[in-house]
Structure 1
Amino acid sequence: MQCTQDLDFYLSSILIIVGLLFLLRQLTEPAGYGKHVPKKSAPNFILISAKYGWFIQESPSFFVPIFVVLYNQRWDTLGWKMLLVMFCGHYFQRTFIYSAITRGRPTPLYIVILAVIFCSYNGFLQGHCMVHVATYPKNWYTDIRFISGVIVFIIGMAINIHSDHILRKLRKPSEVDYKIPHGGMFNYVSGANFFGEIVEWFGYAIATWSLPGFAFALFTLCSIGPRAYHHHKFYLLEFKHYPRERKALIPFIF
């Protein structure tokens, strides 16, 4: 495993610890945004449009790694280029495409601020690892770790985007009621979009074979995995005829 330089090790360790703490925090109560904004506290929150919120909070993960790379002018192997394209490709879609078409509810401003901090932190960590620490042979794109990681990443990203599309089409722009999603991975789990993103980042971690990559994948699992569980509970309480065979996050298991 690469990226053993002190800075990357410490930053990755912090990311893992924060992820585990976030997991413990969400065991009993979900993070307060989206359908889980506390109704009693909502009037006290400063809310921001979902479109602006997603653009603001996701953009550091796209721009920060690119600035790190351009500043150091490291762009020398095909495998290394593809790893950067994978990471920034996800956040390009989130920043410029998803934010423009989302029909999500307004998000508390403090959630957006916390997300900006995280995305800036993680964007710097992943970019710093690629530029200053990780070394890949010129034929890294033929390595089984790279190939399998890219395949898993693409599958996860496809599930994530398709699931978001299903959720977006559930309601017309003027509608606010929640509906039961059907199709794709939603036939198996309530948190299909979360499942896709978790798979995506574990694929990235395998392809990079780096500590920062695995730290980010673990953080993703700890942060949105419990959210899938709370979504599942919400659906079961909200809809009497919700499909009982569905699991929360992992098909057929959990």
Structure 2
Amino acid sequence: MSVVSVVSLASTGFKEIRGKHLHYSKFWNVNDSVSNKIKLSSRNGMFLLYTPAFLAGFSSFWLFPDEGLRFFYVKSALTIHFFKRIFEVLFIHKYSASMILDTAIPVTLSYFISTVTMIYAQHLTQGYPEPPIELTYPGIVLFLIGIIGNFYHHYLLSKLRSKNDKEYKIPRGGLFDLVTCPHYLFEILGFWGVSFISQTLYSFSFAFGTTIYLLGRSYATRRWYLSKFEDFPKNVKALVPFVF
């Protein structure tokens, strides 16, 4: 599963760079005909994406009780992460497009299977010696920085539009003045935080694969903004300030 996670996420990231996008957000109808495909409202599609993974994290407290403090932190971090996403879907995000069912189903399965596998991998560590280098508490700090930064920049994105406004605008404020996708940057930090807490091969593999995918997604997003807005600042990078 560690190999599958890295290969699938990295492959999807490279596809984003080549222009073959997952059909959601601003890329929902780019380059491909979607007129004959089943569409969901963006709100319903995003809700579908995150709910099974949240339920997997939430149910793990009942399925695997009393298996140590590290396991408790891993379960808590994953459950909080997907609860935040559902909260944003319902109360923060503003929507302008649809989501293709053909995209929603594999992404939903990806989040769900990854969450289940990360939790089960942690369960399998029970009875083994603790890692020689303790990264749990640096991981908690990194996770909190990631989830707070991600939420803040999602909030800034939501403020770009009024209630009935469907047009995309150039994001401003926070790290948007330096990079196109700071919300992706903080999401990466959050998953590396979970990896540090967990310290399993699978959590590391998932964080690494997610990093490659979001590198590709952010690169494609910057390219999209440059194509749509003549006044988009050329010095604004894709993901990492002053670097990429």
Matching residue of 1:47: 39
Q: How large is the RMSD of aligned CA atoms in angstroms? A: 2.1
Q: TM-score, normalised by structure 2?
A: 0.90
Letter in 1 for 2:53: S
Task: Give the Å deviation of 1:24.
Answer: 2.7
Matching residue of 1:175: 165
Task: Give the Å deviation of 1:194.
Answer: 0.9
Poorly superposed stretches of 4+, deviation over 6 Å: none
Matching residue of 2:118: 126
Matching residue of 1:240: 230
Judged with a 3 Å threshold, the aligned counterparts in structure 2 of structure 1 residues 22 and 120 are, in CA distance, closer, same or farther, namely same
Confirm or deny: 8 A CA contact 2:188 2:210 kept in the other structure.
Answer: yes
Q: 5+ residue gaps in structure 1?
A: 1-10
Judged with a 3 Å threshold, the aligned counterparts in structure 2 of structure 1 residues 100 and 158 are, in CA distance, closer, same or farther, namely same
Q: Residues of 1 paired with 2:165 and 2:185: CA distance?
A: 26
Alignment partner of 2:180 out of 166, 172, 190: 190
Confirm or deny: 8 A CA contact 2:74 2:119 kept in the other structure.
Answer: no
* 1:84 is aligned to 2:75: yes
Letter in 2 for 1:81: F
SS for the counterpart of 2:18 is coil
Q: Residues of 1 paired with 2:29 and 2:142: CA distance?
A: 36
SS for the counterpart of 2:242 is coil
Matching residue of 1:37: 28
Give matches, 1:96-245, under 5 Å. 97-101=87-91, 102-104=93-95, 105-134=97-126, 144-245=134-235
Q: Residues of 2 paired with 1:106 and 1:75: CA distance?
A: 42
Confirm or deny: 8 A CA contact 1:153 1:203 kept in the other structure.
Answer: yes
The alignment of Structure 1 onto Structure 2 pairs a total of residues equal to 239
SS for the counterpart of 2:192 is helix
Confirm or deny: 8 A CA contact 1:68 1:128 kept in the other structure.
Answer: no
Q: Residues of 1 paired with 2:213 and 2:166: CA distance?
A: 25
* 1:14 is aligned to 2:4: yes
Confirm or deny: 8 A CA contact 2:222 2:238 kept in the other structure.
Answer: yes
Q: Residues of 2 paired with 1:183 and 1:137: CA distance?
A: 46
Letter in 1 for 2:84: Q
* 1:65 is aligned to 2:57: yes
Letter in 2 for 1:107: M
Judged with a 3 Å threshold, the aligned counterparts in structure 2 of structure 1 residues 68 and 155 are, in CA distance, closer, same or farther, namely closer
Q: Residues of 2 paired with 1:232 and 1:24: CA distance?
A: 15
Task: Give the Å deviation of 1:27.
Answer: 2.4
- Once the two structures are overlaid, the 10-residue window that deviates more, 202-211 or 18-27, is 18-27
Q: TM-score, normalised by structure 1?
A: 0.86
Question: How far does the alpha carbon of each residue in 1:103-123 deviate from its partner, in whole angstroms, 9 at most, with x for none?
Answer: 222211111111121122112
- Percentage identity across paired residues of the two chains: 23
Confirm or deny: 8 A CA contact 2:57 2:76 kept in the other structure.
Answer: no
Q: Residues of 2 paired with 1:65 and 1:90: CA distance?
A: 9
Q: Residues of 2 paired with 1:98 and 1:119: CA distance?
A: 17
Confirm or deny: 8 A CA contact 1:134 1:210 kept in the other structure.
Answer: no
- Once the two structures are overlaid, the 10-residue window that deviates more, 16-25 or 180-189, is 16-25
Q: Residues of 2 paired with 1:47 and 1:135: CA distance?
A: 47
Judged with a 3 Å threshold, the aligned counterparts in structure 2 of structure 1 residues 220 and 134 are, in CA distance, closer, same or farther, namely farther
Q: 5+ residue gaps in structure 2?
A: none
